Structure 1
């Protein structure tokens, strides 16, 4: 991943596929998990990195974050100039669009960078450097104020937002992995494997932690089959509750009811990769 000239954006043009409401699950998780950080900040800035051929995801991110933190501003960043030009008519109070890439062309350190479906086309070997670059741009932690700093949310979803998997990273590096789904679309939890982010998707093989996790997830799902008579949501909640016996699940029932589960990154990190 290199730029041809120092003044040019860092990265490559993505396919730009986007749909309204595609990132709603990710947005709602961000608002719940990071809303307090955004509210505490005097001028909270969030970046929608690689929003694609249409600006819907940036428009929606602003609306969802402002429900939790009304002062939030969103900057949509795209490496393709024509996409930036097409998005300009959608600018409004708190929402602007900029030409750029992984260098994040905003003057301040953002409290949030969301990079959804951006690294899918990159090689796995390139991911660590991209993460490091983006994390270095985040707002730093401030323990005196109880702040853990900015958040990078990087992951993948399907075209209509039924299935997501994302990694959340702070200035110090990766923290957690979240699996999120519309429960009615799920036959078994391992269906989410096809949406693993680039750092994990090629590691879903025997001997790797993420493969073991998905195997145990499917086993717990099968064991929870009797709860299906109470609905898929109750079966999912029971499944995740059983997972907590062996895996470091870091959220609770209020998120499980949304069709989510969040696990500490260190438990799923690829073999041979340093754990934060």
Structure 2
């Protein structure tokens, strides 16, 4: 990542490592992150199964622990040894979550320093950076990517995964960036197809690194424009349902944009594109 990182605030901490970050609103809802969790289980499950002690972090889970509890359940369905650590920067939220601890799930006070031993195989940061400035994103990404488990060519492991993005209040529309130890890899758009009028409706859920770049001359704006055109051209498929229209639109889009997934994921109302194609200019 070549973007110059802005300084991040440090909060007082009783431990040796300062807590890095600021307190956010903490709003959350049960089942809000189901689309992100489903995608993580599908694309990162093999890495979690390969590890002897796979640790994942739900960073900034909010005022209630629902998303961490759900993450444990969903990941253990594909990788039974997975352990989840919920990390929150507000001590009162950690105290409120402690009664929900169980085998495989604990809660810790902290921020972007990620206060867990070793290197986690997954860090999920949903709806956290939306309240930060765009200039601060690079520093957060760099810090979190440095905490991920490294790649291991001997085993074919690509290392840990950071999934950072934004969704609406009930999880119908979601856009996230996936990053490895080396930096950004892909951008995924996911939606409940029945709620969608056009693909560019997802623009309001772009992660902080992209949301202010949805303007003419920027790649993400061109992508959403082309997606809307493909969606309009696929209108005849609407008689077969929104899913078939989405699949056709993505298939046409893939002729011009580096789509990395296929019909199995498209059927879920998803499409994933290489980060380089949508990265901000300048």
Fold shared by both chains (TM-score > 0.5): yes
How far is the alpha carbon of 1:222 from its aligned partner?
0.1
8 A contact 2:6–2:136 mirrored in 1: no
Question: Would the aligned equivalents of 1:75 and 1:97 in 2 still touch at CA under 8 Å?
Answer: yes
- TM-score relative to the length of structure 1: 0.95
CA distance in structure 1 between the aligned counterparts of 2:31 and 2:25, rounded to whole angstroms: 18
CA distance in 2, matches of 1:125, 1:3: 9
The Cα shift of 1:6 comes to 17
Distance 1:2 1:181, change over 3 A: closer
Looking at structure 2, the residues matched to 211 and 106 of structure 1 have their Cα atoms a distance apart, in angstroms, of: 38
Contact 2:6 2:139 in 1 (8 A): no
Q: Is the 8 A contact 1:158 1:195 kept in 2?
A: yes
Query: 2:269 aligned with 1:259, yes or no?
Result: yes
The alpha-carbon distance between structure 1 residues 85 and 2, as it changes in their structure 2 partners (threshold 3 A), is: farther
Task: State the partner residue of 1:181.
Answer: 191
Shift of residue 115, structure 1, vs aligned partner: 0.1
Is the Cα–Cα contact under 8 Å of residues 4 and 138 in structure 2 kept in the other structure? Answer: no
| SS at 1:161 equivalent | coil
How far does the alpha carbon of each residue in 1:219-272 deviate from its partner, in whole angstroms, 9 at most, with x for none?
000000000000000000000000011000000000000000000000000002
Taking a change above 3 Å as real, the CA distance of residues 156 and 5 of structure 1, as seen in their structure-2 partners, is closer
C-alpha distance in structure 2 between counterparts of 1:150 and 1:2, whole Å: 20
Alignment match of 2:242 (pick from 208, 215, 232): 232
Which whole-Å CA distance do the structure 2 matches of 1:6 and 1:228 have between them? Answer: 46
Structure 1 pair 6–234 and aligned structure 2 pair: CA distance change class (3 A) = closer
Q: Deviations over 1:10-55 (max 9, x none)?
A: 0001100000000000000000010000000000000000000000
Root mean square deviation, CA, Å: 3.0
CA distance in 1, matches of 2:219, 2:32: 28
Deviation at 1:108, TM superposition (A): 1.1
CA contact (8 A) 1:163 1:180 kept: yes
In the alignment, which residue of structure 2 is the partner of 1:85?
95
Distance change in 2, residues 1:88/1:6 (3 Å)? farther
**Which runs of 5 or more residues in structure 2 are unaligned?**
8-19
Find the partner of 1:171 among 165, 175, 181. Answer: 181
5+ long unaligned stretches in structure 1 = none
CA contact (8 A) 1:3 1:11 kept: no
Task: Tell me the alpha carbon deviations over residues 110-147 of structure 1, each in whole angstroms, 9 at most, x when there is no partner.
Answer: 00000000000100000001000000000000011000
Deviation of the 1:58 alpha carbon: 0.1
Q: Indicate the SS of the match to 1:89.
A: helix
SS for the counterpart of 2:154 is helix
CA contact (8 A) 1:255 1:261 kept: yes
CA contact (8 A) 2:5 2:139 kept: no
CA contact (8 A) 1:141 1:147 kept: yes
- How far apart in 2 are the matches of 1:6 and 1:254? 39
Asked whether the equivalents of residues 2 and 11 of structure 1 are also in contact (C-alpha less than 8 Å), the reply is no
Counterparts of 1:191-270 in structure 2, within 5 Å, are: 191-270=201-280
The total of aligned residue pairs comes to 270
8 Å CA contact 2:56, 2:84 repeated in 1: yes
Moved >2 Å (runs of 4+): 1-7
The question of whether the paired residues in 1 share the 8 Å contact of 2:258 and 2:277 is answered with yes
How far 1:87 sits from its partner (Å)? 0.1
